[in-house]
Amino acid sequence: MADNNIFRLENVKVWFPVQEGFFKKTVGHVKAVDDVTINVKRNETLGIVGESGCGKTTLGKAMMLLEKITGGHVYYNDDGTERDITTFNKDEVFQFRKKVQMIFQDPYSAMNPMKKIYTEMEEPLIIHGYKDRAEREAIMEEALKLVNIPVDYLFKYPHEFSGGQRQRVCIARAMEINPKVLVCDEAVSALDVSIQAQVLNLMKDIQKEKDLTYVFIAHDLSVVQYMSDRILVMYLGKAVEMADSKELYDNTLHPYTVSLLSAIPVPVIDREKNRIILKGDVPSPINKPSGCPFHKRCDKCMKICEEVEPELKDVDGKGHFVACHLYD
């Protein structure tokens, strides 16, 4: 069972210090990711949703070692042995970079405007020791074929591409070094609807072809549900619910997930809607409320919620995790 996990996160914390005054005294922490324990199974797509500031992007970056992990462990396992990436040395990090790649939100700033696509795509290969030019070009051509971009585009500049094409080039660039995991941070939210569908379908096809594992981070639950096998819902740096994507939709447990689902406008008319409009805003992650982070906006708030922080627990024994006192 444990062998099935490509990533296993144990009590992962990413805290940013808040400094004040002349001597930069640390007066508190922004707890961007706070005590998250989850797993990512091999070849699955794990969707991570939540509102802005919930820590989903930070969690994704922490899994790639692009953000310093303050506490906890991240175990990575692609060959049968589990290793803690937080203890990696420089060389191991470099090897790890080959295995896990990221697709960023904004395809416009993810490419250096001064460089041709050719240079842009060649660089990662040079870094990872592909010395022969013909070999590099063959790899680049194959990667571009994967995302349906003709080779002549190699000698163009990023500004000559549309948003969708750029995002596809970004995917091609990440795929060149044959990663095992792709972390997609809001990969389609900057794209138009019709282009978004193209990129989503393309990503699904690539996953099938290359046996990839996706960590798909987005704020749009409809997109996440379309892409993912399992979904993790985050709120204020905490994991509040994690379940199979269908189960999460059919049998929503956490009140936050319920209201999140109901807030999403659905492009179908005459659908029965039972909308719960949340009051207020997301509290600041510096001064988190005590107890359950959601209790101030929750309509099912009980006394215990204000005092005791709920733990993420498997409530049905089949992998539907929820952190809520309602299901104690």
Partner 1 sequence: MENNNKTNTIENARKYGTKLWKKKVRKFLNNKLAVFGLSVVLIYILLMVLAPVVTPWDPLEPNFKVKLAGPSAEHLLGCDSLGRDLFSRVLYGGRTSVLIAVISSLIGSAIGTVLGAIGGYFGGIFDKLLVRLQEIVSCFPQLILVLIVVAFIGTGTWNLIIIFALTGWTGCFRLVRSEFIARKEETYVKVCEAFGMSSVKIMFSQILPAVLTTVIVQLTMNIPGYVMQEAGLSFLGFGVPMTVPTWGTMLNAAKATNILINYPHCWLVPGAAICLFVLAVNFFGDGLRDVMDPRQQ
Partner 2 sequence: MEDKKIILDVKNLNTSFKSDGKLIKIVKDVSFQLEKGRSLAIVGESGCGKSVTVHSVTRLMAKNSVISSDHVIYRKFNEDGTAKEYRIDKMSNYGKEMRSLRGPEISMVFQDPMASLNPVYRVGDQIIEGLLEHNPGMKKDDAMKMAIELLKKLGIPAPEQRVKDYPHQLSGGMKQRIVIAIALICNPELIIADEPTTALDVTIQAQIMELLKKIQVELNKSIILITHNMGLVTEMADDVIVMYMGRIVEKGTLKDIFNAPSHPYTKMLLASVPVLGMAQGQKLTTIPGSTPNPADLTEGCEFADRCPYCTDECRKGRIPGYEVSEGHMVRCRKFAGNKEVD
Binding site for partner 2 (CB under 8 A): 51-52, 162, 164-165, 192-198, 200-201, 204, 219-223, 225-226, 245-246, 249, 259-269, 275, 277-278, 281-282
The verdict on 162 binding partner 1 (CB under 8 A) reads no
User: Which of 41, 73, 116, 204 touches partner 1 (CB under 8 A)?
Assistant: 116
Q: Which is nearer to partner 2, 70 or 165 (CB)?
A: 165
- State the minimum distance, in angstroms, from the CB of residue 54 to partner 1: 20
Query: In Å, what is the CA distance from 151 to each residue of 142, 161, 169, 234?
Result: 9, 13, 11, 40
Residues touching partner 1: how many (CB under 8 A)? 40
Give the DSSP H or E segment for 204: helix 193-210
Q: How far is the CB of 209 from partner 1 (least distance, A)?
A: 20
The one among 18, 138, 276, 286 contacting partner 1 by CB under 8 A: 138
From the list partner 2, partner 1, none, pick the one residue 41 interacts with, judged by a Cβ distance below 5 to 8 Å according to partner type. Answer: none
Give least dist CB 57 to partner 2, A. 14
Q: Is 137 in the site for partner 1 (CB under 8 A)?
A: yes
Cβ-based nearer residue to partner 2, 98 or 204: 204
If DSSP codes are grouped into helix, strand and coil, which group holds residue 96?
A: helix
Residue 78 contacts partner 1 per CB under 8 A: no
Alpha helices for 35-192 (secondary structure H): 56-63, 90-99, 117-127, 133-146, 163-175
Which DSSP letter does residue 309 get?
A: P
Is position 210 an interface residue for partner 1 (rule: CB under 8 A)? no
Contact between 102 and partner 1 by CB under 8 A: the answer reads yes
* CA 94 – CA 97 distance, rounded (Å): 5
Of the candidates 194, 169, 195, 174, the residue with the CA atom closest to the CA atom of residue 184: 174
Residue 259's binding partner among partner 2, partner 1, none (Cβ under 5 to 8 angstroms by kind) is partner 2
Positions in 244-283 near partner 1 (CB under 8 A): none
The least CB distance from residue 10 to partner 1, in Å, is 23
Nearer to partner 2 among residue 192 and residue 307 (C-beta): 192
Q: Which two tokens stand for residue 305?
A: 């919620």
Report residue 326 as tokens: 């309602």
Give the whole-angstrom CA distance, residue 27 versus residue 45: 38
Strands (E), 142-280: 181-185, 213-217, 230-235, 238-244
Asked if residue 173 binds partner 1 (CB under 8 A), the reply is: yes
Q: Least CB distance from residue 239 to partner 2, whole Å?
A: 18
Task: Examine residue 161 and tell whether it contacts partner 1 (CB under 8 A).
Answer: no
Does 160 bind partner 1 (CB under 8 A)? Our answer is yes
Give which of 75, 66, 68 is closest to 9, Cα–Cα.
75
Task: Residue 127: name its binding partner from partner 2, partner 1, none (Cβ under 5 to 8 Å by kind).
Answer: partner 1
What are the angstrom distances between the C-alpha of 289 and each of 163, 224, 305? Answer: 40, 28, 10
| Total Cβ atoms within 10 A of residue 181 | 21
